[in-house]
Amino acid sequence: MNIVTGGSNHHSSPQISLLDVLFPGLGGGCLSSAQQLLAGNLDSYSRLFCTFGMFVLFTSYAVRYVWELVRSYFTSTIHVPYYDEAYDMLADWIAHQPFVRNAHSLIARVRSPQRTSIQYQAKKKPLTFSPWDGSFPFWYKGHLLILHCAVKEHREDIYISSIGLYPNILKELVEECRKKYLNDIQRKVSVFEYHEGEWKKARLRPIRPISTVIMDKQVKDVLLRDMEEFLDEPTQWYAARGIPYQRGYLLFGPPGTGKSSFSLSIAG
């Protein structure tokens, strides 16, 4: 004999407290501890530690919740992408600010001197420190700003936020960084390196006069005349109409024959 019993399975959905809605993850454990505390099932020391722990836990969640509200609705933010030259402008300005000395997280970098002596580089390579992976408050023209450094794969993203809905003070800061950067790189050549589909400035080199480059004089004169012709005013006709007008040179030879020196010299 086969007996079949029928019935309906009702899955009771878990109840969600208001505390879970406002502070996700806080409700369950906190309510359980509170029930034990209110029921008087704990001794005096346990009640003390339980009360203190609940206070710390609730405060941390409350502060985080309030800060997220402020950050989302009452702050202005400016982002600086890693592979843009504006990143170098801002990073150079930050490295020279007093608040960096008290930052809780720093990264040390070697700033290579503009010399070629191996002995000099081994002894005199200076270190620079900059904030790393965190949030760092600082004052700028009477305004409280917060620098955020987020480390991602192969790069670091920087963004700065301020209290208020108008980003004027942030624009002033970036403009100051730009002016300082342009002043620092005067009479220098920027050397860029290709990495992961982007060109990133790697270092600065002082401008070298073409007269100091030792190479075959006939080759040098031919190249200089060709470049002068390429940069002549009539050639701007192509640029004005968006027509590609390019010139390239293939320099080859053993080390020490002036290839890199000549390239850096004409770039300056």
- Output the average pLDDT for the chain: 77
Task: Report the run of H or E that residue 182 belongs to, with start and end.
Answer: helix 168-184
Can you give the pLDDT at residue 171?
96
pLDDT band at 247 (very low <50, low <70, confident <90, very high): confident
Contacts 24+ apart (CB under 8 A), 242-250: 249/223
Phi/psi at 251 (5° precision): -100, 130
- For the stretch 231-245, pLDDT in tens is 777 777 777 778 777
Residue 94 CB coordination number (10 Å)? 20
- At residue 47 the predicted structure's pLDDT band, cuts being 50, 70 and 90, is low
Structure-model confidence comparison of residues 51 and 177, the more confident one? 177
Instruction: Report pLDDT for 79.
Output: 93
Q: What is the pLDDT of residue 120?
A: 41
pLDDT score of 9 = 47
Position 88 pLDDT exceeds 80: yes
Mean pLDDT across the stretch 41-48?
63
Q: Which residues pair with 39 in a beta bridge?
A: none
Give mean pLDDT, residues 146-153. 88
Of the two residues 140 and 154, the one the predictor is more confident about is 140
- Euclidean distance between CA atoms 199 and 192, whole angstroms: 6
What pLDDT does 107 receive? Answer: 86
Residue for token digits 């390429």? 230
User: What length does the chain have?
Assistant: 268
Sign of the dihedral through C-alpha 158, 139, 177, 207: negative
The percentage of the chain sitting over the pLDDT mark of 70, rounded to a whole number, equals 77
pLDDT at position 43: 59
Contact 113, 203 (CB under 8 A): no
**pLDDT at 218 exceeding the cut of 70:** yes
Strand 127-131 with 143-152, pairing: unpaired
The dihedral through the CA atoms of 42, 47, 49, 50 has a sign that is positive
Q: Tell which residue, 46, 43, 42, 16, has the closest CA to residue 31.
A: 16
Using a cut of 0.75, tell me whether the model's pTM lies above it: no
Q: 149: which strand partners?
A: 134, 158
How many contiguous H segments (helices) and E segments (strands) does the chain have? Answer: 9, 8
Express each pLDDT in 100-109 by its tens digit: 888 889 888 8
Which has the minimum average pLDDT: 27-31, 156-160, 163-167? 27-31
